[in-house]
C-alpha cells in the first residue's frame, strides 16, 4: 500500500450501472466495436533521417546572413528542420 487510493475493477455509479475500468484506448475499441471496419494503426514515433546537401546549407546561411533572418525563419522557408538549422549556427 503506497498511501494512494486503491485501484478498483468496478465502479458503481448513482444510476446503479456497472462501469468497467479500461486501461487503454485499444481495449476500449475491442470491447465496444463489433464492426470489423475499424482498423487501429500504430503511430510511427521515429522520424525519417534527412540528409541535407551542401547547397541546402549554403541557401540557409545566405538567407540568414544576407536577408538578416533568424535561424528558425530561414529554416521554415527552406523546409529544413529548425533544430538542424540551430545546430548549424552553433557549430
pLDDT digits (tens, 9 = 90+) for 73-91: 999 999 999 999 999 999 9
Q: What percent of the chain has pLDDT over 90?
A: 41
Place of cell 476500449: 28
| Stretch 34-46: mean pLDDT | 59
The pLDDT of residue 53 is above 80: yes
> What sign does the dihedral 50-84-57-88 (CA atoms) show?
negative
- Which set of grid coordinates corresponds to residue 62? 545566405
- The model's confidence at residue 49, banded by pLDDT at 50, 70 and 90, is confident
Per-residue pLDDT at 12: 53
Check residue 36 and report its DSSP letter.
T
| Stretch 63-77: mean pLDDT | 92
Amino acid at each position: 500500500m503506497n498511501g494512494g487510493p486503491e485501484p478498483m475493477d468496478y465502479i458503481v455509479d448513482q444510476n446503479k450501472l456497472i462501469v468497467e475500468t479500461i486501461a487503454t484506448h485499444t481495449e476500449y475499441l475491442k470491447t465496444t466495436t463489433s464492426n470489423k471496419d475499424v482498423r487501429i494503426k500504430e503511430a510511427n514515433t521515429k522520424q525519417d533521417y534527412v540528409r541535407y546537401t551542401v547547397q541546402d546549407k549554403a541557401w540557409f546561411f545566405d538567407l540568414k546572413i544576407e536577408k538578416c533572418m533568424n535561424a528558425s525563419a530561414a529554416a521554415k522557408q527552406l523546409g529544413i528542420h529548425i533544430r538542424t538549422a540551430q545546430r548549424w549556427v552553433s557549430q
